[in-house]
Structure formats: C-alpha cells, structure tokens
Amino acid sequence: CTNHFDCVDACSARSPVFLTLCHMVACATLGYLLSLSHLTPIKPLKSKRQLWKICLLASIFCVTIVLGNLSLKYIPVSFNQAIGATTPFFTAIFAVLMQGSREAGVTYLTLIP
C-alpha cells in the first residue's frame, strides 16, 4: 500500500465483512458520542418486544450492508449505486401492496426518473 486510501481499497475488495465491521463500529461510536452530548438523548426501551424489533431490524441492516459490500466483488460500483437508487420506488410500491398505505400523488411523481 502506497497510501491509506490504497490500503482501504485493497482491504474492502478482499474483505467486505471487515469493511462492514468498520462501518458499524464507526456508526455505533459516533452515535454514542452524540448521545453523550445530550443533543440526542438515549431513549429507554419500553418492552422486550421493542428490543426484539430493534435487534431484528439491526440484524437485517447488517446483512444488507454485508451483501451490498460483497456484491462489489462481482458488479461495478455504478451498477450497485443504480440499484440502490431504486429503493424508494420499491418501498413505496411494497407499502401500497403490503400495508395498503398511500402517499400523496406528488410523492409518487418524485419517484419517476
């Protein structure tokens, strides 16, 4: 590695799980430091069910980050970003199909490329 960025690129290409770990540790550390500043206080859990939902969501998030980083071994970053940009569209569609919730018409207009 000739400089720090070359090392990060080499590491992320060979070990996407390590890259994900770095991402998660940085987010947790910055979140904790922000809560210490009292700008965003830590909210207590209300129930074990809420804890279960939070853990499930966090696990799904971790898996999607790992899979997204793994995909960079096989597809170009630009294609990965293009697929990621479709997330709001599919979120809106599945919200209608699965929950029956509808947004204002202008919201759906913003999803058209």
- Residues 25, 31: Cα–Cα separation, whole Å: 10
- pLDDT at residue 28, rounded to an integer: 87
Which amino acid appears at position 91 of this protein?
T
CB 55 within 8 A of CB 1: no
pLDDT tens string 18-77: 777 888 899 889 988 888 888 877 788 899 999 999 999 989 988 888 888 788 788 888
Task: Select from 58, 56, 71 the least CA-distant residue to 17.
Answer: 71
pTM, two decimals, is 0.55
- Which residues are within 8 A (CB) of 72 and not within 5 positions of it... i.e. 6 or more apart? 12, 13, 16, 80
pLDDT tens digits along 11-27 = 555 666 777 788 889 98
